Amino acid sequence: MNKKVKSTKKNSQSKSSQSNKRVNKNKSLYVKNKNKSLKKKKKLKPTLILFFAITLLQFIFIVHHYLTYNHHKVKVVTKIKEKEIVPENIVFLGDSITWMYDLDKYYKGKRVVNSGISGDSTEDIIKDMNNRVYRYNPSKVFILIGTNDITDKKTKEQIVDNIQIIIDYIQKNRPKCKIYLESIYPINNTNDQKINKKMVSIRNNEFIKEINDELKKISEKSNITYINLYDEIVDKEGNLKIEYTKEGLHISEKGYEKITTILKKYI
């Protein structure tokens, strides 16, 4: 009986010892696995930080690229700038009559360019279209030229043909530009003490009217606007009104005031 009890106790102790060994072994394995897991986590931590850092940088780059280089946005901004800088550019093209015209005074707040040169003829303008017209990128051009061609003894046909060339050049190089062709202004060659006959020279109103008739025709043909200022500034005798001229050819302040009231309808 005692032997059996002792044997049972030994077996029990043996089993308990084996169980403890297993527990200790499991604990040891657990500790080893935990240490390995911690080591892995320690290794992964900088890798994860680097990954998130790269992801964040990519996100920032994409947002920056979209905001900065979105082509549609750039186009819209460019269009707004263009409208602010050049809403309208109006060129007055001609000779001394245009050159003496104080555009800034009569067209305040408007983008006007005085492209008049004293003594110019139609040929002078044809030879210098870039400097006289194109470089301003005009939205409108008012042409007044031809009176000096008369003193150069050009024929009516030559004068009209040259003006047609000027129109054609503008339409070809600046197709969106509106063109306004003014009639050649009348002269006053009477015996009034104000008149300088040397300045008026060989110009005469009959010849000027013949040219103007042809200018009206080429305006219709070229689909541009013809402005008949001639009839607006002559007196009952068909001469340039004395109050509208300085010496029979060039225009006085009152004359420019009258001309401005008519041209403003087209500005």
Whether residue 132 is contained in a domain is answered as yes
Least confident range from 11-20, 53-62, 103-112: namely 11-20
Is the domain of 41 the same as that of 149?
no
Whether residue 13 is contained in a domain is answered as no
Whole-model pTM: value is 0.69
Residues 155-192 have pLDDT tens digits of 999 999 999 999 999 999 999 999 999 999 999 999 99
Instruction: Show the 3-state SS of the chain.
Output: CHHHHHHHHHHHHHHHHHHHHHHHHHHHHHHHHHHHHHHHHHHHHHHHHHHHHHHHHHHHHHHHHHHHHCHHHHHHHHHHHHHHHCCCCEEEEECHHHHCCCHHHHCCCCCEEEEECCCCCHHHHHCCHHHHCHHHCCCEEEEECCHHHHHCCCCHHHHHHHHHHHHHHHHHHCCCCEEEEECCCCCCCCCCCCCCHHHHCCCCHHHHHHHHHHHHHHHHHHCCEEECCHHHCECCCCCECHHHECCCCCECHHHHHHHHHHHHHHC
* Domain end position, chosen among 36, 51, 85: 85
How many domains does the structure of the chain reveal?
Answer: 2
Structure confidence at residue 82 as a pLDDT band (50, 70, 90): very low
pLDDT > 70 fraction of the chain, expressed in percent and rounded = 69
Is the domain of 92 the same as that of 81?
no
Whether residue 189 is contained in a domain is answered as yes
Give residue 258's domain range: 87-266
Say which CATH number the domain at 103 has: 3.40.50.1110
